Chain A
Amino acid sequence: MQLIEFQQVHKNYPLGKTIVHALQGISFGVQEGDFITICGPSGSGKSTILNMIGCIDTASEGEVLIQGTHTSSLSDKQITQLRHRTLGFIFQNFNLIPVLSVYENVEFPLLLGAGKDDPYKAWSKQEKQDWVNYLIKQVGLQEYAQRRPTELSGGQRQRVAIARALATKPTIVLADEPTANLDTKTGEQIIQLMREMNQTLGTTFVFSTHDPQVLDVADHVIKIRDGMVEDDYRPSDRC
């Protein structure tokens, strides 16, 4: 079973009096533990695909399956639960909560659980602390744990975002152009960090980019153009 599966997915949305066909029958699959790049020019549909994997947008036609579950059949509450337990997000603009410290931002997803079956409730306070501190250390920010996001550089903020995305030990981390607002060097460091986390924790990373240099580190590349899959390959297969 594939971790993520797109089956003839279409996405249409109205723009004024015209209908924009953002995705036109896309199909692909993602294996667990992969480090996947979805690349293509601006407006090609990369973000739309990420939104659908993240269950924050729905397909007009076709099916999106996460761990074999048809996401279209889930209620809002179930989708929120799926996002909380299975998915982690890294945003282009970092989207850290400004009033919380680095530590609190990373801890935040662990406090969002609702319901008796929330797996994070079973964790002791110490376990949570250790895990959050471990993640902060992994992203190299142990000295900045009590700082607010406004006191950090762009690269540091994105590191916090990576740690936060991994807090709930998700199966998939989605990153929407995570290096777009960073300089080249910092961008490379961030990609490198994500790759390390992918290899250390076995978490599947799916990220969108239009930077061709990033393709070199990916296990799996899906090229998108005009809402269609232009190419879908594993670089290792072409070597």
Chain B
Amino acid sequence: MLIKLALRNLLQHRSKSLIVGALMAFGVMLLVVGNSVMHSLNQKMQASFTEQYSGDLFIYTDPIAKAQMELNQRLTNMPEKARQQSEQNRPEKEDNTSIFSGYGSGENAALPQLADYWQELSELDIIHSLSPQTLGMTRVENGEGAEAMSMFWGMDPDNWHTLGFAEHLQWHAGGLWQTDQPSIALSKDVAERYSKSQGQPLLIGDEILLTVNSDVGTTIRPVTVAGIFSFKTTATPQLNMMSLVDMATSQSLLGLNIDTSEASQLSAAEQVLISTSSEDDLFGGSDDLFGDVAAGQDNATDLEAELMASMAANRNQTNGPMQQYHFVIVKLAAGIPASEAEQQLQQWFNERQLIWKTGDWEKAAGFMAAMTKNISMVLDGFMVLIAVVSIIIIMNTLVISVTERIVEIGTMRALGAQKGLVRRLILLETLVLAGAAGCVGILLAIISIGILGFVGINPQSAFFNMIFGGEALFPYLSIDAVGNALIMMVAAALIASLYPLAIALKVSPVKAMQG
């Protein structure tokens, strides 16, 4: 009877039902379309990152734990009073690490103890493959005035093939290097800027110089251009200037190759110059500043070997010379959810007292993912605003509807209807209306998303092209968005019905007598 009454009341007050229903349907449509677009965007971005650059997870040094550890070490050597003061002034450290930022140069920037746990980590069941990498910023130059700036990842081509990243690189010339020779695959944008600066095209096989200015000084290394590429999709602007450098060179540039010795690689002209010159020729011979170089050379070699052994011993190094990396890209075994793996890995790190941390693709993406999250939040805020306005309009319409039915409600109460029945009736009417409007809204959203998915959203803007991971976004319907919109609509309808309900429950049976 109540359902019959509710339905007939809604039909009886057709115009009001239509106004409220249309508002609700429009709200649901906006919610579903908005959230579906954001969901599609997020999925596309996630695919861009996990398939091309970030893997499922990445492992990096926890900057907060590291800062804490360093502070604690300093505090232990401080007098009590100074320690208390330092404790009070403990600096707040933020974790802004991504695969594009948050590192530095030198030993301190590296992921600590990686060599010690590498084998154990790579044998974990949840791991499919790992790729240790470095990150840096270099000046690409030829020593004759041509130059361009580039970011670079130090990486191993074999690892990128295993991760599947290599398959997504689009080659404009050459390819990934296959030798141990110092090599670089240049980003197309960087190569174009360099070529423009040089006045002629950069060719595969050209030798260029990479210069890195860092905490450990200025390092220059010559590399051979192995290829010019671009990523299939560039989901963040940094990727347009991201080049790939062989691991040994990148470590050398970033001061991450401590405890290793490397031979100077000199050109033929430089070797002739050095072989025909002595220190006396270069620095003058009146004062024998360096003594007999030839006599001291053996001693210097012994000293270097002794120093290396001592450094390794001091670091409790067991696996030979330390290979230093900034972060490790992780591809998970099939079917392992990233969130679960993240927890498991974090527990694994904690058990070994490692100051490592894992991040998912959003963390790896850095500001770009944060920006889409912010866009999503702005959209959510907009939706909340729509919901609030809708609630107010729905509430007003329901109040008018209840006010017009005061005699009817009073009559029901006089005939013996308890307040609970009146409450159920009003709520049922609201829910029936919300349900019907929700279905219409979802239908409209399905049609809208279908059209958008067919023609695509193409605002023809570089910014949107980047966050869309291509020229256009072809959104699809998100089931989560449908569920959320329905829940939100029902919640909004229930909230909107609270005040009219309060009015209805206050209606006295005497109103029936007053007619």
Contact = CB atoms under 8 A, between A and B. Distances in A.
Interface of A: 47, 50-51, 54, 56-57, 76-77, 80-81, 83-85, 89, 91-93, 95, 97-100, 104, 108-109, 111-114, 164, 168, 176
Contacts of B69: none
B415 interface: yes
Nearest to B421: A112
Contact of B416 (A47, A76, A83, A176): A83
Interface in B487-515: 508-510, 512-513, 515
Interface in B406-464: 407-408, 411-421
B373 interface: no
11 contacts: A56-B510, A56-B513, A83-B509, A85-B416, A91-B512, A93-B407, A95-B408, A95-B515, A97-B5, A99-B11, A109-B415
A80 B420 CA distance: 11
Contact of A51 (B416, B418, B419, B513): B513
A112 B422 CA distance: 10
A50 B5 contact: no
Contact of B414 (A54, A98, A100): A54
Contact of A168 (B5, B408, B416): B416
B413 A47 contact: no
Contacts of B415: 83-84, 89, 108-109, 112, 164
Given A83-B416, A108-B1, A112-B416, A97 B513 contact: no
B512 A89 contact: yes
Contacts, number: 80
Given A83-B416, A108-B1, A99 B8 contact: yes
B420 A114 contact: yes
A164 B421 CA distance: 18
B12 interface: yes
Contacts of B408: 95, 97-98
A181 B11 CA distance: 28
- Chain B at the A interface: SS class: helix
Interface residues of B, number: 26
A75 B332 CA distance: 67
B376 interface: no
A81 B8 CA distance: 26
Interface of B: 1, 4-5, 8-9, 11-12, 407-408, 411-421, 508-510, 512-513, 515
B515 A91 contact: yes
Contacts of B8: 99-100
B417 A80 contact: yes
A99 B12 contact: yes
Contacts of A168: 416
Nearest to A80: B418
A54 B418 CA distance: 15
Nearest to B407: A95
Nearest to B416: A84
Contacts of A164: 415
Which are the 10 A-B pairs with shortest beta-carbon distances?
Answer: A84-B416, A99-B8, A93-B515, A56-B509, A95-B411, A56-B510, A112-B416, A112-B417, A111-B1, A114-B418
Contacts of B414: 54, 56, 83, 89
B104 to A, nearest CB: 73
A54 B511 CA distance: 13
Contacts of B509: 54, 56, 83
B160 to A, nearest CB: 71
A54 B512 CA distance: 12
B5 A99 contact: yes
Contacts of B411: 89, 91, 95, 97
Nearest to B7: A99
A123 to B, nearest CB: 15
Given A84-B416, A91-B515, A97-B412, 6 more contacts: A47-B513, A54-B513, A56-B513, A77-B418, A89-B512, A164-B415
A111 B1 CA distance: 8
B515 A76 contact: no
Contact of A109 (B5, B416, B419, B513): B416
Contacts of B513: 47, 50-51, 54, 56, 91-92, 176
A168 B515 CA distance: 22
B508 A56 contact: yes
B203 to A, nearest CB: 85
A176 B510 CA distance: 11
A113 B420 CA distance: 11
Contacts of B12: 98-99
Contacts of B5: 97, 99-100
B412 A112 contact: yes
Nearest to A181: B515
A104 B418 CA distance: 19
A15 to B, nearest CB: 15
A204 to B, nearest CB: 17
Contacts of B419: 76, 80
Contacts of A76: 419
Given A84-B415, A109-B415, A114 B421 contact: yes
A234 B147 CA distance: 119
Contacts of A77: 418
Contacts of A98: 12, 408
A51 B510 contact: yes
B117 to A, nearest CB: 69
A173 B512 CA distance: 15
Nearest to A170: B416
Given A108-B1, A108-B415, A109-B416, A95 B421 contact: no
A50 B417 CA distance: 19
A91 B4 CA distance: 24
Contacts of B512: 56, 89, 91, 95
A92 B514 CA distance: 9
Contacts of A50: 513
A193 B265 CA distance: 120
A84 B417 CA distance: 7
A56 B417 CA distance: 13
Contacts of B417: 80, 84, 112
- Among A77, A112, A168, the one with the most B-chain Cβ atoms within 10 Å of its Cβ is A112
A97 B512 CA distance: 11
A176 B413 CA distance: 16
A51 B1 CA distance: 28
A191 to B, nearest CB: 19
